[in-house]
Amino acid sequence: MVRSPAGGGPVLGGGQLLRHPAHRLRNAAALDAEAVLESALERQAQILFFQGLSTFAGVAVAALLSAKVLWLVLEVKGDDLPFRKVLAVVAHVTMLTAVVRQSMLALTVTLMRDPARLDLHNPLATNLAFYLRPADPTVFRLLAAADLLTLAKICLVALGLSAVSDRLSFRAALLVVLVPWGAYVGLSLALPALF
C-alpha cells in the first residue's frame, strides 16, 4: 500500500486497485439479490393476488371474445339468440373448465417429486402431444389442440347453446362451436408466431 503524497489516507497499488472494485461489485450484487428476494417475500401476498387477478381477467376476456365470435356465427347462421345468453353459456363453461384445469395443474405440481421437470408448454396429460412428444412443432401443436378438456368444453358449450335456443339442435350447436375452433387451430398452425 502506498501513502498519498499529500499525507492523506492510503492509496491502493495497481493490483489491489483492480481487485478492490470487483470485490465491492460482487458484494453489492449479492446484497441486491438478497434484497430482491427479501422484498419479494415481503410482497408475496400482493404478488399472488395480482397473479390470481390476471389469471381471472385472462379467462374473462377469453370467454367474452369466444362468446362474441359464437354469437356472430349464430347471427350469420340466422339464429336470433341474444348475446347475453351466449355469454352466460360460454362464461359458465369457461370458468368450469378453468377451475378443473388449474386444479389438475396444482395437483400435478404438488405431487411431482421434481417440479423443475414440469413442461410449462404442455403440463397436463390430457392430449396426445404429452405422450408422443413429436419433434415437429406443427404436429405438436396439432396434437396439443385435441385436448380432452378443450373437447369437453366444446361439447358443454354446444349443449348449453342448444339448451338456451329453441331452434338450435345439439348437432347444429356443435357445428357452430367447431367451425370457429377449427379456424383458430388452423390459424395457429399456419401462423405460429401469432399464437
Exposed e or buried b per residue across 120-153, where buried means at least 16 C-beta atoms within 10 angstroms of its C-beta: eebeeebbbbeeeeeeeeeebbbbbbebeebeeb
> Of all helices (H) and strands (E), which one includes residue 3?
strand 2-3
Reported as a single tens digit per residue, the pLDDT across 125-165 is: 999 999 999 999 999 999 999 899 999 999 999 999 999 99
Kindly indicate the confidence band of residue 115, based on its pLDDT and cuts at 50, 70 and 90.
confident
> Of all helices (H) and strands (E), which one includes residue 11?
strand 10-11
Please state the rounded mean pLDDT for residues 46-58: 83
| Predicted local confidence at residue 50, as pLDDT | 85
Q: How far apart are CA 120 and CA 47, in angstroms?
A: 20
| Predicted local confidence at residue 28, as pLDDT | 53
Q: How far apart are CA 164 and CA 89, in angstroms?
A: 8
| Predicted local confidence at residue 194, as pLDDT | 79
Q: How far apart are CA 130 and CA 73, in angstroms?
A: 32
For the ranges 37-51, 104-118, 174-188, the maximum mean pLDDT occurs at 174-188
Reported as a single tens digit per residue, the pLDDT across 21-41 is: 555 545 555 567 777 777 777
Q: List the one residue out of 54, 61, 62 whose CA is nearest residue 180.
A: 62
Please state the rounded mean pLDDT for residues 53-79: 93
Neighbours of 27 (CB within 10 A): 10
| Predicted local confidence at residue 145, as pLDDT | 92
User: In the chain, where are the structural domains located?
Assistant: 65-194
Question: Rounded to a whole number, what is the largest CA-CA distance in the chain?
Answer: 99
